[in-house]
Chains A and B, each alone.
Chain A
Amino acid sequence: MNAAATAHPPRPAAAARQQMRAQVAFVLYLLAAAAGITLPLVGGPLAVDLMLRTGSVIILAISWNLAANAGLISLGHSTFWGLGSYTALLIANRLGLPFVTSLIPAAAIGALVGSGLAVITGRLRGIYFAVATLALSEGLRVVSVMLPDLTGGSAGLYIDQALRPAPRLVAVATTMCAVMTALVAHLLSRTPFHYACRAMRNNEHASQMLGVNPLRFRIAVLALSGGIASLAGGINIWYTGFLDPDIGFDLHITILAQIGPILGGIHSLAGPIIGGMATIVISELSRIWLGEQGYSLLVYGVILVVSIMFMPHGIYGSLRRLAARRPRRPVPVRAREVAS
Chain B
Amino acid sequence: MSSFLQCLIDSVLLGGLYSLMAVGLSLGFGVTRIINFAYGEFIMLGAYGAFFCSTLAGIDPLISLPLVMTGVAGVSGVIFELCLRRMLRAPAINQILLLFGTGLVLQNLAAILWTGDARSVSTPYSLTAEELGDLYIPDGRVIAFLVAAVLIALLLWWLRRTEFGRATRAVAQNRDAAVLMGINVTVVYLISFAMNAALGAATGAIASFLLTVTPFMGFHMLVKSFAIVVLGGLGSIAGTLAGAFVLATAETVVAYYVPDGIGWAEGVAFVVLLGVLIVRPRGIIGQAVEIA
Chain A contacts to B: CB under 8 angstroms: 68, 71, 73, 75, 120-128, 130-132, 134-136, 138-139, 142-143, 145-146, 204-205, 251, 255, 258, 262, 292, 294-295, 297-298, 300-305, 308-309, 312
Q: Which of B35, B97, B269, B290 contacts A262 (CB 8 A)?
A: B97
B219-230 vs A, Cβ < 8 Å mask (1 yes, 0 no):
110110011001
Q: At the interface, yes or no: B146 with Cβ under 8 Å from chain A? A: no
The answer to whether B105 touches A125 (Cβ under 8 A) is no
The answer to whether A309 touches B96 (Cβ under 8 A) is no
Max chain B C-beta neighbours (<10 A), residue from A122, A132, A258, A292: A132
B105-120 vs A, Cβ < 8 Å mask (1 yes, 0 no):
1011101100010000
Q: At the interface, yes or no: B102 with Cβ under 8 Å from chain A? A: yes
Quote the shortest CB–CB distance from A36 to chain B (angstroms): 30
Q: Which residues of the other chain, A, contact B147 by a CB distance below 8 angstroms? A: none
Q: Which residues of the other chain, A, contact B271 by a CB distance below 8 angstroms? A: 139
Q: At the interface, yes or no: B291 with Cβ under 8 Å from chain A? A: yes
Binds A, one of B12-20, B169-177, B191-199, B274-282: B274-282
A42→B227 CA distance, assembly (Å): 50
Q: Which of A128, A138, A298, A302 contacts B277 (CB 8 A)?
A: A128
A130→B112 CA distance, assembly (Å): 28
Interface of A is mostly: helix
* Contact A304/B97 with A121-B277, A125-B291, A128-B281 known, Cβ cut-off 8 Å: yes
A-B contact pairs, 7 of them (CB 8 A): A68-B93, A120-B277, A122-B281, A136-B270, A292-B112, A297-B108, A304-B101
Q: Which residue of A lies closest to B84 (CB)?
A: A309
B250-292 contacts to A (CB < 8 Å) = 260, 263-264, 266-267, 269-271, 273-274, 277-278, 281, 289-292
The answer to whether A146 touches B108 (Cβ under 8 A) is no
Q: At the interface, yes or no: B98 with Cβ under 8 Å from chain A? A: yes
Q: Which of B86, B90, B92, B264 contacts A127 (CB 8 A)?
A: B92
The answer to whether A132 touches B37 (Cβ under 8 A) is no
Q: Which of A120, A124, A300 contacts B104 (CB 8 A)?
A: A300
Q: At the interface, yes or no: B78 with Cβ under 8 Å from chain A? A: no
The answer to whether A75 touches B37 (Cβ under 8 A) is yes
A130→B230 CA distance, assembly (Å): 12
Quote the shortest CB–CB distance from B247 to chain A (angstroms): 12
Quote the shortest CB–CB distance from A196 to chain B (angstroms): 16
* Contact A123/B220 with A131-B273, A142-B270, A298-B108 known, Cβ cut-off 8 Å: no
The answer to whether A73 touches B93 (Cβ under 8 A) is yes
Q: Which of A68, A134, A298 contacts B105 (CB 8 A)?
A: A298
Max chain B C-beta neighbours (<10 A), residue from A131, A251, A309: A131
* A-B pairs under 8 A by CB, number: 135
The answer to whether A134 touches B226 (Cβ under 8 A) is yes
* Contact A295/B230 with A134-B223, A204-B292, A309-B98 known, Cβ cut-off 8 Å: no
The answer to whether B101 touches A145 (Cβ under 8 A) is no
Q: Which residue of A lies closest to B95 (CB)?
A: A308
The answer to whether A135 touches B227 (Cβ under 8 A) is yes
A312→B87 CA distance, assembly (Å): 11
Q: Which residues of the other chain, B, contact A125 by a CB distance below 8 angstroms? A: 92, 289-292
The answer to whether A308 touches B35 (Cβ under 8 A) is no
Quote the shortest CB–CB distance from B138 to chain A (angstroms): 24
**New A-B pairs, 13, CB < 8 Å, besides A297-B107, A308-B94:** A73-B96, A75-B37, A75-B96, A125-B291, A130-B35, A135-B274, A136-B270, A138-B269, A142-B266, A294-B116, A300-B104, A302-B101, A309-B86
Q: Which residues of the other chain, A, contact B291 by a CB distance below 8 angstroms? A: 123-125, 204-205
A122→B279 CA distance, assembly (Å): 11
A300→B109 CA distance, assembly (Å): 12
Q: Which residues of the other chain, B, contact A71 by a CB distance below 8 angstroms? A: 93, 292
* Contact A309/B83 with A132-B274, A295-B112 known, Cβ cut-off 8 Å: yes
Q: At the interface, yes or no: B100 with Cβ under 8 Å from chain A? A: yes
Quote the shortest CB–CB distance from B25 to chain A (angstroms): 11
B52-68 contacts to A (CB < 8 Å) = none
